[in-house]
């Protein structure tokens, strides 16, 4: 697998895991604590920033013809 393909798969899987973490934290968690809320916030931030990184990486690697 090429570096480009690996990054696309890695960013996609990581984004989905962050979405699951946020959903679990805010919807499915049985007890609400400070740590669960913090994990939910980390999940939301990751779900927003990882696709931005993926687009940045894809454009950079396409521009450099790697």
- Count other C-beta atoms under 10 Å from residue 16's C-beta: 12
pLDDT score for 45: 98
Distance (Å, whole) CA 59 – CA 5? 13
**Residues of the chain below pLDDT 50:** none
Residue 12 region, left (φ>0) first, then alpha (ψ -120 to 50), else beta?
Answer: alpha
Distance (Å, whole) CA 24 – CA 40? 8
pLDDT score for 1: 77
Determine the 3-state secondary structure of 51 from DSSP: helix
pTM: 0.86
Can you tell me which residue has the tokens 């934290």? 25
């Amino acid at each position: 697998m090429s570096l480009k393909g690996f990054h696309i798969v890695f960013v996609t899987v990581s984004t989905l895991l962050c979405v699951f973490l946020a959903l679990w934290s805010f919807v499915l968690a049985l007890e609400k604590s400070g740590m669960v809320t913090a994990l939910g916030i980390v999940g939301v931030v990751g779900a927003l920033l990882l696709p931005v990184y993926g687009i940045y990486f894809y454009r950079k690697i396409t521009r450099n013809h790697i």
